[in-house]
Chains A and B, each alone.
Chain A
Amino acid sequence: MEKFSGDRLSRRNFIKIAGAAGTALALSPGCDSVNKLIPYVNPPRYPFPGEWIHYNSVCRECPAGCGMLLSHRDGRITKADGNPKDPLNNGKLCARGQASMQGLYDPDRLKDVIRQNRGMKPEVSTWENALLEISERIKKNGTRVIIISNLQTGSLAEVIDTFASTAGNGSFAAYYEPFNYESLRKANEMLFGTSNVPHFNLDQADYIVSFAADYLETWISPIEYANRYGNMHSMNNGVIGKSAFAGPRMSLTAANSDTYIQTPAGKEGLVAFAMLKRINEKGVAKNSISQAMPFINSVLEGEKIPARDDEIERLVNDFTSASHGIALAGMQISSSDSQVKSALGAMLLNYSMGRIGSMVEFQRPHALSKTLLNDEVKKILSGISGSDVLILNNVNPVYTYPPSLDGIKKAGLVVFIGTQVDETASFSDWLLPANYYLESWGDYEPVQGMLTIMQPAMTPLYKTLSAGEIFLTLAHTGGKPLKRQPDGKTFSTFRDWFMDYWNDVQRQASPGTSGNTFLEDTLRTGGIWNFNTKEEEPVKISLAELKAGNKTPEDNALRLWLWPEITLFDGHLSNRGWLQEIAEPVSFISWNSWIDIHPALAGKYNLNSNDFLEVEAGNVKFKAPVNVTEIAEENTLCLPFGQGHTALGSDARGRGVNAYAISGVNMSNPITGIKIAKAGGSMHLAYMAKTKEQYGRKVVEWIGLSKLRQLKPEEVKELILPLPEGYQRHRDLYPARIYKEHRWAMVIDLQRCIGCAACTAACYAENNIPVVGETEVQKGREQTWIKPVPYRSDEDKKKLGWIPMLCQHCDAAPCEPVCPVFAAVHNEEGLNAQVYNRCIGTRYCSNNCPYKVRRFNWLNSEFKSPLEVQLNPEVTVRSRGVMEKCTFCVQRIRNAEYHAENEKRKLKEGEIITACQQTCPTNAIIFGDLLDNNSQVTKLTRGDLRRYHLLEELNTKPAVTYLKRINMSES
């Protein structure tokens, strides 16, 4: 290298130096970032990315109002669980509550303000335009505002009521629910002079008799009842409660009842009256009913009791000897005399045994008491005139009461507030997109005194407003801001109104605390449970003036029984894929309407399952496929509510029959005077099981109560456990598998399992299970990882029991060794793991699985936007061509393990709760570690007298132990 000359830098050298310096700079490690994460001194209180946080809320999918615990992560909620602190539902949710996630992320949600003046082409508008135009219209002289809202209490009801009271003359607000328990309330009116829906307190119940009230599925507060039922109906120190059911269709509740009396629809109430008569004869009533005997006799006069005398005797004995027996009755929707009578009978039974006031609490009425009765609905609709502004908040009367359309059309302006473009929305002038309730502040008081609170668990997905906000702003725009009584303060946002409301609550509930702490505490708890409960006077009963009304329909007359399905409920949930895809638990059909028909009746019309039947009821004529089954009484055709939508969304539209259209102007149920004929043609109903027979295979096992009581522990065969001790020289070729830390296992109590499929919905939500649609379910390709499967008893064909089928995590799993690529392997904690990345899709594992719980991805799963936002970030979304199945919620196991490890402690029993276990209303599912001698699973697996393994003779050593159902009729 040549020397640099002192004063001159040659061009050559300049380039050399520049090149060297440039290279050195480029390669220099001097500007490395600091590879350390510095923790906050004071961690911020807002959500961390990638961390779960939980918000309490209230489920508003039905009027039951269960407390909810929402899992929030990275700005969105992905899963709804029950709020364990809420005494109503004790941390449980039903399938519908689980599917609230699909309501929130419904691809067909109403996203924009839409203006569509009657029959005009809908066009997107703005909030400003809408509020201005509507308020202008309201301000007009002589304008009456009619607000029909879904059931609301608390702050939102306050806003709505205030809005109505400050609007023009004659304005009013009313709360409408299609399931208004009309017959029960009519009966209460007659008996007790109040049309309230009382709170049925099942906490202490040891005997429940129901007259067509499906209290485990859809009746008033099903999760509350199912939860209490689960406790009552299982063995507690040798004590076990019983239940009975009289009704035309073997509903889920009926099938779970120990005594089921199938009656022609409309005659179930006669059983109650026969019981009353017998109680009076025997003189065992605590409150005399002799005054009511003329009425009782007149009801029974000339009627054939749809039960044998010994059955009645037994019901009477069970009911009167129970320390806390209760009778429930009343269809969710019916003005029929027969239903009113049935409710009268049940309430009289309660009265006769002194249950009014203790177990039937009129002093704590249910929020449903606020809803409109059928006559009131009719009156409102007939009174609508051209000068009226009709504001419909979250109600769909065009679907749930089709005659309402005439009234709605008469209104001068129809404003629709809601989350979905439903049937009613199509006839409205303005469509205002509302927040989903999970995006808003709010509160709900399902039973008087239980004040549950809602908070926005995430920012609204779209430019929507809460209903409260809409009413407040509407009033504000109209120049008459709403004043909150009693002090007449005005609020610019609903949140402020809500806060003020809760300040009032705080002043009454805990005067000593500060408003903010009280609210925070309440938000953390989810509500306050004993608010403002005043001792009301006991209701008075009038027995003398009861009238018998019409006779029940002839025994052999054909009739139609409309019943609400556990998943679709009153039909406003029909656009949720999960609920459509989860089969109705008794018929085990999904995705459609069908008519349950008795084989004898089907035989007369030469009908097979899947054939179309044409039904003519009054002026309505419809066609639906039949399901030939003994579920239905011989002369009763059963049709579920929920389908037959012409709007709402792509999953709901054009599917099945709208049962509301059939119940007609009178909203009667059952419907008599029907004509049926074979329609010709058939379809392929999406049955999820082709048979319910067991063929002697002992899938669902029953054990007689007396036998169980006499059984000694040593008489029960030891199970082949998924532990080293399960490996024996005489039946195993290979040595035992040793577990070091855990061996996860599950126990499922079939006596507790009521088949409600809440577990299925929870699993869909937790594990990103795709909805495959009707045609795929028809092909038997549903993706459910857990489903309660109904089986008939081999001995007693009328007995139905459910067995939740999920991966059994066998120790000697037949699926594993057949996989050529180690996609199915056993992990160190006993889980039968499926490695999606490895799977090449030979499907051999599924063939070889004797429990048939593996699910193959036949096609790419579709999560229509924004449903993908709901996906659990901790669970892989599977592509086409791979096998999947239950993982025992491995992500929850790992989370718990990480936390335990961070805190340098051992995992605690009960720390890991699988999604299905978490939501199971009856606590039928128990998960835990078999290596922990004190865990509940160990105790039950080793010690419970009812334990058995499914297909144990195959020596698969399953980790799921089932506990037999108890056959109470064998006591």
Chain B
Amino acid sequence: MEDITKNLTLSEVDKKVLAALKPPVLLYYLLLAGFAFVAAIGLATWVYQVRTGMGVTGLNHPVGWATYIANFVFWVGIAHSGTLISAIFFLVRAKFRDAVSRSAEAMTLIAIMIAGLFPLIHLGRVWVFYYILPYPSERQIWPNFKSALVWDVLAVFTYFVVSLIFFFVGLIPDAAAERDKLEQEHGKNYWRTKIFRRISLGWSGALSQWRHYNRAYLYFAALATPLVISVHSIVSWDFATSLLPGWHSTLFAPYFVAGAIHSGLAMVILIMIPLRRLFNLEEIITPWHIEMVAKTMIVTTLVMAYSYTIEPFMAAYSKNLFEWQFSVWRRTGWLSWSYYMMLPFNAIFPLSFIFKKVRTNYMLMAAISVLVVVGMWLERFFIVVGSTAHDFLPHAWDSYTPTWVEFTITAASFCLFFFLFLLFSKNLPVVPITDFKSQIDEKRKTFDEKCAQPVKIKKALSFMPGYKFVFSEPNEMLKAVKAFCQAGYNRIEVFSPTKIEQLEKIVKVPFSPVKIWALFGAIFGFLFGLGLAIGASQLDDLIVGGKPPVALIPYWIVAFEGGVLFGALFNLAGLIIHGRLFRTSTMHGYDKRFSKDKYGLVVQYSIKDSEEVKNISESFRYEEMESITG
């Protein structure tokens, strides 16, 4: 593994990343305006479509779904890599994630918002879209929880909320760094300072916050991981639970998830390559990071190749006339051009990432990533249009050509994506500074001697007098903690710009109740989802497709989404309450340097011990010592 921390100090990381937030150049504004313009045209086109009817699209009988649904699946797919990188790679401790996770998460959020637009755009009567939402109303009709489209709504909504929380929680320490930087440079009342003060929720990097934060972040990751896999599985079930040849396939869930990650990673590469150049982040986002993403893509490429191979095999093996004829038609019919494009784009060209030369060549990587993004879009188009256009009864077969309306709205969705991403990149740190600094610090935090008689650390109280020490070396800070601990001090507060997991080895850090919140939330949500589905369907008492009102199998999906959603919400609540993130002011004894590269320690004492503190402080190296009064 390449050493990514060479030549970088904490303050340099801070400086480099936060420098990207400085006022932009003219080109930026031009790009922003350009994207906004096309997006606005797209909006106007949509208005036209709503007022005239879906007839302005190329849709027909039998092709009821086409470009819009392909776009939906595509954008949900793009949204997948973000959470994959943030959550799954966090859980498996893949270090390269830190350079790209923030952008990937932002990509997730933006993509999921755009994805969410498409089911609305495709509705025949968008003005009553809320019929699909489960809420009590005077109509007394609840949505049909047996429909994959309702699962979609629940899954995409949950995914958006959880991703948003995850993104936001990861942002808190970074926002604090930006807040302190802005306050130093522009003063307390500068408008951006104020905004970042709000966003950072009074984050002080204190031990009493970190210990909850680390727990909560872990649970977010744990909740998001099955969610990532479930969302695209559920999207795939829009198709797989139908009975059309080419859609009705058990392969779909893993196939779609892999495809989603495939396109998402390609999009990450595609965005990272210009981003690191434009924002001077070459030292932060190194070739090694991008190479690791490319390596991951080899895995997804192989899964895609496997799926593509197994599909016709299953059609042949099933001896089902419809499946087999459909499979042949896919390769020979009027839509086959997209098949012969997506196959090499998705499963052959990206395989070249096994060669080091390819995955270190930016131009090649970008080119292949473009092909993958195009190929994955085509794959969705191919799946959506193919099966509807060519199903059971030959007389109903027809073809499909998108109209200018669909082209415009699709183009507008891409422009909206880049527009929002540009907005993000100039307003929020594109690299997770704290995670990155923690990695650099990892090497410097070697001290982990256990305190002989571990005391349980208590919260520092603002009215008690004490001493504040400032360190630049984390090890010295850790030594100081141990020294005070040995001496029986238990009112200790530590401030750190990075995660400090070693502290837990030295002293006894109290148990974080956040995990109870998360567990309770998940169980509550699960039962709530199940209860909602069962209860609502009993109110309606409608039989559809021979399924009785309470059909438990599909209701597990509602329960699952409820569990994840409420687990994440309760987890967040736990973090905010226990980490005291409900205020915007920083904690007692906090110093602006603590969000950058300095470590702080506050030891509180009763008056008689004041001399002793001074004596103990002889045993470690500190930069400053300051007496603070209560």
Where the two chains meet, the residues of A that have a C-beta atom closer than 8 Å to any C-beta of B are 688-697, 699, 727, 732-735, 737, 776, 779-782, 789-791, 805, 811-822, 824-826, 838-844, 846-848, 850-852, 854-860, 879-883, 950-951, 954, 957
Contact = CB atoms under 8 A, between A and B. Distances in A.
Given A848-B244, A850-B243, A840 B129 contact: yes
Contacts of B551: 734
10 contacts: A697-B394, A812-B545, A814-B243, A814-B545, A819-B144, A850-B391, A850-B393, A851-B393, A880-B55, A951-B393
Contacts of A789: 393, 395
B127 to A, nearest CB: 9
Interface string B57-91: 01111101100000000000000000000000000
Contacts of B546: 727, 732, 734, 737, 811-813, 826, 957
A597 B321 CA distance: 33
A881 B544 contact: no
A843 B64 contact: yes
Given A694-B394, A817-B547, A822-B144, A856 B54 contact: yes
A844 B149 contact: yes
A841 B147 contact: no
B406 to A, nearest CB: 14
A840 B132 contact: yes
B61 A852 contact: yes
Q: Which of A733, A734, A843, A856 has the most C-beta atoms of chain B within 10 angstroms of its own C-beta?
A: A843
B241 interface: yes
Contact of B544 (A699, A781, A817): A817
Interface in B133-150: 141, 143-144, 146-150
Contact of A780 (B60, B149, B150): B60
A682 B544 CA distance: 46
Interface residues of B, number: 59
Interface of B: 52-55, 58-62, 64-65, 119, 122-126, 128-129, 131-132, 141, 143-144, 146-150, 153, 238, 241-244, 321-322, 325, 387-388, 391-399, 540, 542-548, 551, 553
A805 B395 contact: yes
Q: Which 4 A-B pairs have the closest CB atoms?
A: A841-B124, A881-B124, A858-B55, A843-B64
A69 B543 CA distance: 39
Contacts of B54: 841, 856, 858-859, 880-881
A820 B126 CA distance: 14
Contacts of B150: 820
The dominant DSSP class at the B interface is: loop
A706 B544 CA distance: 42
A732 B547 CA distance: 10
Given A699-B394, A847-B62, A822 B544 contact: yes
Contact of B59 (A694, A817, A858, A951): A858
Contacts, number: 210
A671 to B, nearest CB: 33
A852 B54 CA distance: 18
Nearest to A842: B149
Contacts of A735: 548
A852 B62 contact: yes
Contacts of A822: 141, 143-144, 540, 542, 544
B143 A820 contact: yes
B60 to A, nearest CB: 4
A776 B58 CA distance: 11
A399 B304 CA distance: 64
B124 A842 contact: yes
B118 to A, nearest CB: 12
Nearest to B245: A850
B149 A820 contact: yes
Given A780-B60, A839-B124, A847 B395 contact: no
B62 A840 contact: no
B242 A882 contact: no
The dominant DSSP class at the A interface is: loop
B144 A847 contact: no
A846 B59 CA distance: 12
A852 B393 contact: yes
A830 to B, nearest CB: 10
Given A842-B123, A860-B53, 8 more contacts: A820-B153, A822-B544, A840-B126, A840-B128, A847-B242, A848-B243, A856-B64, A881-B54
B392 A856 contact: no
B125 A882 contact: yes
A842 B121 CA distance: 10
Q: Which of A824, A842, A951 has the most C-beta atoms of chain B within 10 angstroms of its own C-beta?
A: A842
Contact of B392 (A688, A696, A851): A851
A693 B394 contact: yes
Contacts of A857: 53, 124
Contacts of B544: 813, 816-817, 819, 822, 824-826
A879 B132 CA distance: 19
A688 B65 CA distance: 20
Contact of B148 (A693, A791, A818): A818
Contact of A781 (B60, B124, B391, B393): B60
A694 B322 CA distance: 11
B144 A697 contact: no
A170 B265 CA distance: 94
A689 B396 CA distance: 6
A724 B238 CA distance: 28
Nearest to B129: A840
Contacts of B132: 820-821, 840
A312 B394 CA distance: 36
Contacts of A733: 553
A805 B398 CA distance: 16
A232 B119 CA distance: 54
A841 B131 CA distance: 11
Q: Which of B119, B122, B387, B546 has the most C-beta atoms of chain A within 10 angstroms of its own C-beta?
A: B546
Contacts of A957: 546
Nearest to B387: A847
Given A860-B53, A880-B55, A846 B547 contact: no
Given A819-B144, A840-B129, A859-B53, A826 B543 contact: yes
Given A820-B147, A821-B144, A843 B124 contact: yes
A847 to B, nearest CB: 5
Nearest to A854: B61
A847 B233 CA distance: 20
Contacts of A690: 394-395, 397-399
A840 B395 contact: no
A697 B543 contact: no
A51 B413 CA distance: 54
Nearest to A837: B128
Contact of B241 (A727, A818, A819, A856): A818
B141 A846 contact: no
Given A734-B546, A839-B125, A843-B65, A818 B149 contact: yes
A852 B396 contact: yes
B124 A840 contact: yes
Contacts of B394: 689-695, 697, 699, 791
